[in-house]
Amino acid sequence: MRKYFIVSLLSAFLFSLSLIFIDSNEVQAATLGQQLSQPEEDWKRYEDDSSEIEYKGTGWERHPGYTTGQTKKDYSGSVRFVFYGTKLRVLSYSNDSDFHGTSFASSVEIKIDGVAENYRNDIVGRQYQTLVYEKQGLEKGYHVVEIKTIKPRSRGLNIDAIDVDSDGYLVPIGTEIPNEIESPVLEGAVTEEGHALTWKAIEGAKGYNVKRALNAGGPYETIASDVTTNSFVDKDIKKGTKYFYVVTTVMNEGESKVSNEVTLTSEENSNVTLTLHLSNNHIKEYDITKAEFEKFLDWFDKRMNGEGKAYYVFEKKVDGKPYHTIKEYIVYDQIVWFETKEY
């Protein structure tokens, strides 16, 4: 019994070691507050003294070997740079205590293409190369970044390094940024064939990428690449599901930002039997689509408020000659009540 117990303990110990070994081989994504002494895979690093980073205004002080930061009294300056890519990391010397009077800003504003967010420069205590801000999922292209102190402590902000895509780069100061690729203006409609998307052709475009999401604003999935026409029909849809569409222009220089977003929903196939009870004791019954019933209900509600026409037209199916169409005009004032049966 004792031997069995010892063997069991040994097996459990070896199993736990194997878990540790397996876990050590997993690539864990960096988190805010973590020290990154080297850029991670698929990232490229620019140190704080890189010529592409512009320190505007006064109050800047270079600490050789690690950071460029704001002095104790002057927080008026700002940082500006332009990068090409889809993602960005800001690394700083972080300190959340007043040890030696070097606690850094509790609120720093960063603007990417004019869109402002905030981060803390005091996220942890006394640590260099600290990841204090990260942004991913940007459209591939040129992005203007501006950083400034909002709430200083004993000091303002500091920059230790900037990380961007491994195939991205910081743009030298004063470089003229290429003209932004024009984004299409998107329109859409629900048709029997599917969700029909159209846009005006962009001069010089190699093609277009059509993207779709299940939530407004994305994240978008590319459902068609390098479309050479200025239209596309999405047939892979589920009835009753709301889809959000955007389109981008593809040129030799790259891809444009996304177009305006278009929302389309194909109604589920359902019909309604509408029974009208009229003031002359007549009963009228119509088999119509759910969309047609919604249209009738909208007319009825507006007539209650004195808006719209005094009658509603129902078009009946004609099986053969001599008539092409049969239309029945129902006057609002003659409707006593109605009922519906959906199937």
CATH of domain 43-171: 2.60.120.260
- Report how far residue 313's alpha carbon sits from residue 295's, in angstroms, rounded to the nearest whole number: 11
Q: pTM above the 0.85 mark?
A: no
Does 186-265 carry CATH code 3.50.50.60? no
Q: What is the pLDDT of residues 171-180, one digit of tens each?
A: 999 998 877 7
Tens of each residue's pLDDT in the chain, 343 residues = 433 333 344 444 444 444 433 344 445 679 999 999 999 999 999 999 999 999 999 999 998 767 888 877 889 999 999 999 999 999 999 998 876 668 999 999 999 999 999 999 999 999 999 999 999 999 888 899 999 999 999 999 999 999 999 999 999 999 988 777 899 999 999 888 899 999 999 999 999 999 999 999 989 999 999 999 999 999 999 988 999 999 999 998 788 889 999 999 987 667 899 999 999 999 999 998 888 898 999 999 999 999 999 999 998 877 767 887 889 999 999 999 999 998 7
Nearest residue to 156 (alpha-carbon basis) of 84, 107, 190, 220: 107
User: For 233-274, what is each residue's pLDDT tens digit?
Assistant: 999 999 889 999 999 999 987 888 899 999 999 876 678 999
Evaluated on CA atoms 110, 116, 121, 124, the torsion sign reads: negative
In whole angstroms, give the CA distance from residue 310 to residue 2.
Answer: 95
For the chain, the structural domain boundaries read 43-171, 186-265, 271-342
- Residues 153 and 98: their CA atoms lie apart, in Å, by 8
